[in-house]
Amino acid sequence: MAGSTGSRPHEVRVDSWTELQHELFEGSWQPAIGRYRSTYAFRGMADVDWQLKTSLSRLGGDYPRLERHLIRNFRKYAYLEGGGHGSLWNLLAQAQHHGLPTRLLDWTYSPYVALHFVTDDVRHVDRDGAIWCVDYTRTNKLLPPGLLDVLRREEADAFSTEMLHEAVSTLQSLDELSVDPFIVFFEPPSLSPRIINQFALFSVLSSVRKTLEAWLEERSDVYRKIVVPSELKWEVRDKLDQANINERVLFPGLDGVCQLLSRQYSPRPR
């Protein structure tokens, strides 16, 4: 049976595919509309011990100081490719999509897409994986009034880049909206089939120096962490492939085809 892991009641370890399904869709029933609509954003990680670190923070050193230089130069050099246009949030979404170190983190509305990233790398099949589940309707309640007002007016639970730009147009103004750090979830524009097929959204934390994991630990009522044991990974992987949740779909094009074939023809470790 699924159960909490030690002293962390928000961390649940599953023992079977059936238990995993239950945990992934826990709380998705919405009585007000009579439909199953999860309010969680999901992020899958192949190793349970990996932290929720942004690509910007992984640069190390004085990475907060480097942020504005990275953004300025991306806008300058990417202009010809269409990467230097539009609002800051469109710019950051495109930069993150193409691998620039940013303070954004990738999430998905799909628990199965998150599961793909728990099980896609055979090098980590012997490690327990994890899916982070953050309830964005609860984190929205912690937003500063200016941002929350935009969501309420639009009757939305996540920002578009246009909505976010209306409320805050620079990272400095985001930092200055509140003394207490907060998290914003926003949907990127449809930059590519990859973003569409992965049902993607991004998070941004108002404090560039604070890690999301530390922020969540202080607010355990807004998230859950599902631990997928290593011995369950092969079953999950095979069933995702059967359900057509794989690299060919999530990374359209020859790169995805080659990733899929490389994984499928890799021998299973004894």
Domain locations in the chain as residue ranges? 3-54+104-264
Structure tokens at 197: 């097929």
Phi, psi angle pair for 50, to nearest 5°: -65, 145
> What is the per-residue pLDDT for 141?
96
For the chain, which residues score pLDDT lower than 50?
A: 6-7
Token output for 156: 């939305």
User: Which structure tokens are listed for 52?
Assistant: 């929720």
Q: What is the pLDDT of residue 7?
A: 47
pLDDT of residue 79: 79
- 3-class DSSP state of 227: strand
Say if residues 131 and 111 touch (Cβ distance below 8 Å): yes
C-alpha–C-alpha distance, residues 20 and 227, integer Å: 9
Res 80: pLDDT: 72
pLDDT value at position 83? 60
Calculated CA dihedral for residues 164, 249, 240, 138, nearest 10 degrees: 0
pTM to 2 decimals? 0.93
| Radius of gyration of the chain measured on its C-alpha atoms | 19
- Coil, strand or helix: which one is 122? helix
Q: Return the pLDDT at 85.
A: 65
Cα(251)–Cα(260) distance, integer angstroms: 10
Q: What pLDDT, in 10s, does the model give residues 11-56? A: 999 999 999 999 999 999 999 999 999 999 999 999 999 999 999 9
φ, ψ of residue 259 in degrees (nearest 5): -65, -45
